[in-house]
Structure 1
Amino acid sequence: MSRTIASNAPRINAIATAVPECDVHTRYTEWAASQLDDERKAKLFRRMESRGGISHRYSVLSGKDAALDFGSFYMREEEPGTRARMERYAAHAPDLAMQAIAGLPSTEGVTHLVVASCTGFLAPGLDQIIARRLGLAAGVERVSIGFMGCYAGVTLLRTAAHIVRSDPSARVLAVAVELCSLHLQQSQDIQSLLAMGQFADGAAAVLLSADGEGLALGQGLSLALEESGDLITWTIGNSGFVMHLSGEVPGKLGEALDDPAVQETILGENPPTTWAVHPGGRSVLDAVERGLALPPDALDASRGVLDEFGNMSSATVLFVLDRLAPEKPASGIALAFGPGLAMEGVRFGWIGSDA
């Protein structure tokens, strides 16, 4: 398949993003440190967390719940169960999704709706709830992408693009919404606390079609590393969804990206000039930069999103694209990483309205 993006390629006409009001990053640090059984470990955690490249993270929790005060959602004798967490998801996920959609110019004429989320389940699903709240026609086609993790944002875009390729008259609304803060776990493991300290809540909405100007989407790519299935896992337990993020991930990722065959797949004969890399953490971005020998400023947009919002799972790469779109990049690639360890990507490039 050619790496050139065709003039009639599906394109992102608009992107809008949203986060909740409550910034919980500083309070989380103290709560997490209080889980550790001695001050030496607590000091080590605080030092390591301060180097994570994150200043702010937002949560749908509010008031005493967000402050992690005694008697609040997470500060009880027993951790909240999965049912309690899913009740919060059902109450807040649709609202945050609608907040992001409200930032789009218009949803008039939408023919297809694609929704990605891995932090909650409900039925009728988010796709039906969003369609009803928007007053979309009953015949609008819907797709839900669930539990894929952080790279679902790329899968969301590729799915929407496939719809437009099969039906050039389609107007696709694609939405990613994640409430990662509903899955905090009590732990005395520093690595687990650091991993939880990266995640946050956020939503992004995208309009795609076959006409108008925007970021045109081209060839997709997928890569699953051999013998890496235990590096990133996302398990449903009795007290929410438990994330395991191995400290080996950055090293394994850097090694994989340094492989000439992998570099050929990603870079090709004409390497992209713009990089929309999912900020799965500072060390992950460092590994991508090192593995692909990128210039020091190549991942500035990703690092900026990480600093201002943290890792919002599938929605995060869309925040990065939103930051890059005003630059009208001629050629780029979006990459995201998740359970597996696996990578999903899609090529993009700006296309004018007269294309």
Structure 2
Amino acid sequence: MSRIAAVATALPSHRYPQQAITDMLAPMVARDPRRQALMRRMHASSHVDTRHLVLPLEDYRDALTFGQTNDRFVEEVTALAATAVAGALEEARVRADEVDLIVFTSVTGVSAPSVDALLVPRLGMREDVKRMPMFGLGCVAGASGIARVHDYLEGHADGVALLVSVELCSLTVQRDDDSMDNLVASGLFGDGAAAVVLVGAARAAGVAGPDVVATRSRLYPGSRDVIGFRPSETGFRVILTAGVVEVIDANFAADATAFLAAQGLGVPDVGTWIAHPGGPKVLDAFQRGLGLPEGALARSWASMARVGNLSSSSVLHVLADELHADRAASGYGLLFALGPGVSAEFVLLRWPEPAEALAAA
């Protein structure tokens, strides 16, 4: 098993109430007053109170090409990633030159060399550090990143690995696109970053975080047009349909319970639920499918209200909130997310009992 040693988050400094963002975007996105009114209603019902944006709100009035937007992405994403990584390394008491693997994920911009390569000299990592950039996983990548890092550490018990996620979703909002996809996305997604330090079993002594016990991936055939991005001259145009909830209703509960059953567990054995806050209907579908009690996904709802949906970073923000809570979690936890494909990732966590942690230390 691997163990999560630390999770740190970073948010851009520009923070705005939902209403201010809606007021600025509405005339840019929709020219028809009826579509503007629909957009306002959808934003108001999103359960998002505030969001952080990588640029000052007034800067979004400028019409930029894909290339210009992506230049801003590379510039801003590297700085935000460095902040999150520095916080995670400090919390884990790990030096940058001790990291053996860095996995970087984002779906809101592209860079070659990839952002992980830009971070290596900036943070003082070794020149022989292994790198694995991931693109295209979208919202599922936070959970998938933990799972893939865990796979690496299963074969490197004395290793240290780093997962970095940064999403600048605001740079993908499209002008003059009053499609339902863009109306929903423009009121839901925010900007943010997260970094996770994981260690192999041989380095877990004295680390109080949860163990990664098992993982499972699922890809649902015939769902490629349900969620994702479509590249265009003005950037990434979001694909976000009502079919997401249909996929959850048809598959999620059976897959989650089968995964738990393979570990000898059932839903009642899980005390902590770390769900990707994909939106109100998504969280409702997760809770409904598993038959969870009221409040079981409270941290996901609170994260969505505070910062919106941060794509791959969101579930990591929820995990950070759990790890930094006044009342520590115990027993088993299930972390999960969905993304383009449609794909799902399940990560079973287990917090060491106090006696185990003392013995390990």
Normalised to the residue count of structure 1, the TM-score between the two structures is 0.89
Paired residue secondary structure (2:225): coil
1:270 maps to 2:260: no
Work out whether 1:180 is the aligned partner of 2:176: no
Pair 263,313 (structure 1): closer, same or farther in 2 beyond 3 Å: closer
Matches within 5 A, 1:1-355: 9-24=1-16, 25-34=18-27, 35-62=29-56, 66-67=57-58, 72=59, 74-76=60-62, 79-104=63-88, 105=90, 106-108=93-95, 109-186=98-175, 187-209=177-199, 210=201, 211=204, 212-258=207-253, 261-268=254-261, 269-271=265-267, 272-325=270-323, 326=325, 327-351=328-352, 352=357, 354-355=359-360
Q: AA paired with 1:96?
A: L
Q: Give the C-alpha shift of residue 112 in structure 1.
A: 1.8
Deviation at 1:237, TM superposition (A): 1.4
The Cα of 1:267 is off from its aligned counterpart by: 4.0
Task: Give the whole-Å Cα distance in 2 for the aligned partners of 1:85 and 1:206.
Answer: 27
After superposing the two structures, state which structure 1 stretch, 242-251 or 282-291, moved more. 242-251
Q: 1:130 offset after TM fit, Å?
A: 0.9
Q: Classify 1:169/1:153 alpha carbon distance in 2 versus 1 (closer, same or farther; 3 Å).
A: same
Look up the match of 1:3: none
CA distance in 2, matches of 1:276, 1:213: 18
Deviation at 1:343, TM superposition (A): 1.0
Change (3 A) 1:114 1:183: same
Q: Runs of 5+ in structure 1 lacking a partner? A: 1-8
**CA distance in structure 2 between the aligned counterparts of 1:190 and 1:174, rounded to whole angstroms:** 33
Deviation per residue, 1:32-74 (Å, 9 max, x gap): 3223344343333222221111011111112xxx22xxxx4x4
Conserved 8 A contact 2:4-2:210: yes
Name the structure where helix makes up a greater proportion of residues: 2
2: distance between equivalents of 1:36 and 1:82?
A: 20
Listed as ranges, the gaps of 5+ residues in structure 2 are none
Output the amino acid matched with 2:83. Q
Alpha-carbon RMSD = 1.7
Q: Matches of 1:113 and 1:288 in 2, distance apart?
A: 31
Contact residue 69 and residue 235 of structure 2 kept, 8 A: yes
Q: 1:82 to 1:160 in 2, by over 3 A?
A: same
Q: Which residue of 2 aligns with 1:5?
A: none
* Count of residues paired in the alignment: 335
**Contact 1:234/1:243, CA 8 A, preserved across alignment:** yes
Whole-angstrom distance in 1 between the partners of 2:189 and 2:117: 26
Q: Distance in 2 between matches of 1:294 and 1:113?
A: 35
The CA deviation at 1:323 is 1.2
| Residues 1:297 and 1:178: Cα distance change in structure 2 (over 3 Å) | same
